[in-house]
Structure 1
Amino acid sequence: MRNITFALTMGLAVAAAPAAAEEWRLNNFLPETRPESAELEKFVADVNDKTGGEHTLKLFSGGSLGLPNTDTLRFLPRGAVEMSLMWANYLGRDAPALSSVVVQGTIGSIEEFEKAIPVVREIYEEEFADWGVSSVGYVPIPMLSVSVFCRDEPVNTIADLKEKKLRVWARDQVETFTRLGVAAQIIPQEEMYVAMRTGVVDCALYPALYAHTVSLQEVSKYASFLYPMASGPYVIGVATDKWEAADPALKEAVAAAAEDLWNRTNQYENDYARELAAREKLVEQGIVWGDDFPDEDREAFVATVTEIWADLAEEAGGKAPDYRQRVLNALGR
């Protein structure tokens, strides 16, 4: 009888014991100098504060864990890291449908963008779940102004750009510029500086707002605005089995901190003012800011990228055409 009582007592003690403390790593491929990285630092601090030290979250920025951002759907479900930032446009190799949810350049106003965001988030949750990844938080991307930065001479027309080698970061951009007669190639952000310095490319497509974070002003002398760009938000992902097995206290802390993160960053009213301030700073650092690309060039770009959006969705197949149509419906098109 004493043995039975002892066993029952021990069983109750084990059941009542708190979950073992865990340390989760958050992989962030963005440079530490990016404003989104600062927001992720606050997110991590909020999670740690809410758990009271029972569990901890640690941020690793700038790709310091050596995990390629294009491989997130491979390494995250396998447990290479507990949590990671993800961007759908980098994941088209493994999940082609994600590349056609929001093709950059097809949404050109804050008003349209705000209509699309709820639907985009729903689609991301569904698609990532199919890959065994739970979307536990989001980091908005500002409404950006994309410019063409060049090394040796100013370029502010599509005609002039046809004479240059252009760096881009996504397949839809390669397809769009190729159709416009421009030689474009994908060069990862971390390789762009060297590519510009050594002449692998003559010009680089990049937002002025973030140019200083990759020292683009050191390898280019001229810049001109080409088009406004809305993008789907970054997603904070956790392997679904890891998330489902996590201590409820940790999940509650992450959910609360993620909601705070979204609420304080899902703001776009000051984006253009920040863009102008960034351009002014770049001019102070030696960039010659030229005239914008003409309206007819921007219209040609938007018309072409809209065609590419449809083509990519059809090529991806599966759910991609439906994802695109859901976004179009949200936009009222």
Structure 2
Amino acid sequence: MKNSFRTTALSLALTGIAAVPASAEEWRLNNFLPETRPESAQIEQFTADVNAALADKDFTLTHYPGGSLGIKNTDLLRVLPKGAVEMSLMWSNYLGRDAPALSSVFVQGAISTVEELKAVLPVAQEIYTEEYNDWGVTTVGFVAIPTLSVSVFCADKPVNSLEDLNGVKLRVWAREQVETFTNLGVSAQIIPQEETYVALKTGVVDCALYPALYAHTISLQEVTSYASFLYPMASAPYSLGVATDKWEATDPEIREAIVTAADALWERTNQYDKDFELELAAREKLSEMGVTWGEDFPESDRALFLDAVSETWAMLAEEAGGNAMDYRQRVLTALGR
């Protein structure tokens, strides 16, 4: 009887062990954009689509917006291939330290119309896929960015000309902007978006370059009182990257679900017909919150700015070497220049 009890207990224990499913796999999706950005909402939808498609699998994709995983966007080419996170949003303009050739694809201000953007996007996507492959990162999808109107937001006084910018400490977000404004005699420094609010509040900078559409997402209306439009900008798309060795070892059904959801994400975001309408609404909302919207920078200043952008683009490509000149030429060819 005793041996029979032990046999039965062992049998039940083994049955219980066998009934426990293998540990569910969770992938973390790192997103450095604030949760309030519209792109973050689209990425949240992408995450939901992946999880819905894989409801019967022991797999979960979890979205972490606002840089909540503590990964610096400038470090992604170093840490993503090593498995610091399973998937991440990536933006080429933040990765120039490690991959300088990426700075020669989309230079801020060089592409300004929807027509130009649509001509360039397929080429840019090819280039990013190639470049990230060389870093051991597989591109599994893209997120489009609206065409933007970039303005100068200032704390203490209105600034709406290049002459007014002389002597002003200006926040920018990319090296090409530093070079462009330096060529125009303006002091500019890179400050990450998450540090811009404090930099303006404490006087580290007097003004910040920022799109009105996104200004409220970092509460610029609380630390600036004036804004004026400077230039239109079409931006490089964001990429969704996974370490190549991780991607190749992943269940094909999971890969298919991710790619399918990413295709839908691109289709939703690659739309630009309402961009100017959204810009005007954003300006009105900011005005209601206390930002005085001044006159646009004059066309003559904008022409000088665009000439400086063109010079910066050529300089950065030559300086970067490697594939940079080829990347720039491929984009110029797509633009018919």
TM-score computed with the length of structure 2 as normaliser: 0.93
Q: Does 1:247 align with 2:243?
A: no
Q: Give CA deviations for 1:298-328 in whole Å, capped at 9, x if unaligned.
A: 0000110111000000000000000000000
**Letter of the aligned partner of 1:42 in structure 2?**
Q
Partner in structure 2 of residue 301 of structure 1: 305
Please list, as runs of the form range in 1=range in 2, the aligned pairs for 1:109-188 lying within 5 A after superposition.
109-188=113-192
Q: Residue 53 of structure 1: CA displacement?
A: 4.1
Partner in structure 2 of residue 212 of structure 1: 216
**Unmatched runs of 5 consecutive residues or more in structure 1:** 1-17
Q: CA RMSD in A?
A: 1.0
**Letter of the aligned partner of 1:314 in structure 2?**
E
Alpha-carbon separation, structure 2, partners of 1:307 and 1:320? 15
Alpha-carbon separation, structure 1, partners of 2:163 and 2:289? 28
TM-score computed with the length of structure 1 as normaliser: 0.94
Partner in structure 1 of residue 32 of structure 2: 29
Q: Secondary structure at the match of 1:301?
A: helix
Partner in structure 2 of residue 38 of structure 1: 41
Q: Give CA deviations for 1:205-256 in whole Å, capped at 9, x if unaligned.
A: 0000000000000000000000001111000000000000001110000010
Q: Give CA deviations for 1:45-89 in whole Å, capped at 9, x if unaligned.
A: 000001124111000010100000000001100001000000000
Match of 1:325 among 313, 325, 329: 329
Partner in structure 1 of residue 4 of structure 2: none
**Letter of the aligned partner of 2:41 in structure 1?**
A
**Letter of the aligned partner of 1:173 in structure 2?**
Q
Q: Residue 128 of structure 1: CA displacement?
A: 0.2
Q: Residue 264 of structure 1: CA displacement?
A: 1.2
Query: Is the 1:19–1:247 contact (alpha carbons within 8 Å) kept by the matching residues of 2?
Result: no
Alpha-carbon separation, structure 1, partners of 2:254 and 2:24? 10
Q: Residue 19 of structure 1: CA displacement?
A: 8.9
Alpha-carbon separation, structure 2, partners of 1:323 and 1:100? 6
Q: Does 1:201 align with 2:197?
A: no
Q: Residue 21 of structure 1: CA displacement?
A: 3.9
Partner in structure 2 of residue 7 of structure 1: none
For the pair shown, which has the larger CA radius of gyration, 1 or 2? 2
Q: Does 1:86 align with 2:90?
A: yes
Alpha-carbon spacing, 1:19–1:270, altered in 2? closer, same or farther (3 Å): farther
Q: Does 1:222 align with 2:246?
A: no
**Letter of the aligned partner of 1:162 in structure 2?**
N
Query: Is the 1:31–1:61 contact (alpha carbons within 8 Å) kept by the matching residues of 2?
Result: yes
Identity %: 70
Alpha-carbon separation, structure 2, partners of 1:65 and 1:52? 25
Moved more, 50-59 or 125-134: 50-59
Alpha-carbon separation, structure 2, partners of 1:230 and 1:71? 24
Alpha-carbon spacing, 1:331–1:20, altered in 2? closer, same or farther (3 Å): farther
Alpha-carbon separation, structure 1, partners of 2:117 and 2:108? 11
Partner in structure 1 of residue 3 of structure 2: none
Alpha-carbon separation, structure 2, partners of 1:164 and 1:98? 29
Provide the aligned length of Structure 1 versus Structure 2.
316
**Letter of the aligned partner of 2:159 in structure 1?**
V
Partner in structure 2 of residue 56 of structure 1: 60
Q: Give CA deviations for 1:186-222 in whole Å, capped at 9, x if unaligned.
A: 0111110010001110000000000000000000000
Q: Residue 20 of structure 1: CA displacement?
A: 6.7
Q: Secondary structure at the match of 1:45?
A: helix
Partner in structure 1 of residue 314 of structure 2: 310
Partner in structure 2 of residue 74 of structure 1: 78
